[in-house]
Amino acid sequence: GENVEQHPSTLSVQEGDSAVIKCTYSDSASNYFPWYKQELGKGPQLIIDIRSNVGEKKDQRIAVTLNKTAKHFSLHITETQPEDSAVYFCAARSYSGGGADGLTFGKGTHLIIQP
């Protein structure tokens, strides 16, 4: 099955600086890679995703890059703000052909924005 590794587990950056979180996956058949933000006491919220036929995707201050050859993908947050403080999860999904399939998650990165 799929295995997703996520680094770092904790990331502290100064407000206004950029933050980068990296993930690797093991299954070359995986072709959908979402990123989720989870605030304390809440469910994960989808913030951006990328499919394997695309190398990069941006949405305002957030971007995701994908390197299929190396099997890794990264989340980039620019001009960080206090409200970006949260736990971020990467995930990957392989389509088995049998219908919908669940996601395999990384273990999460606690992002701390220092004022």
What are the residues binding another protein (CB under 8 A)? 1, 4, 6, 32, 34, 36, 42-46, 49, 51, 89, 93, 98-108
Least distance between another protein and beta carbon 9 (Å): 8
DSSP states of 39-84 as a string?
-TTS--EEEEEEETT-SEEEETTEEEEEETTTTEEEEEE-S--GGG
Least distance between another protein and beta carbon 98 (Å): 7
Least distance between another protein and beta carbon 100 (Å): 3
CB closer to another protein, 25 vs 108: 108
Q: Using CA atoms of 13, 111, 107, 61 in order, give the dihedral in degrees to the nearest 10.
A: -90
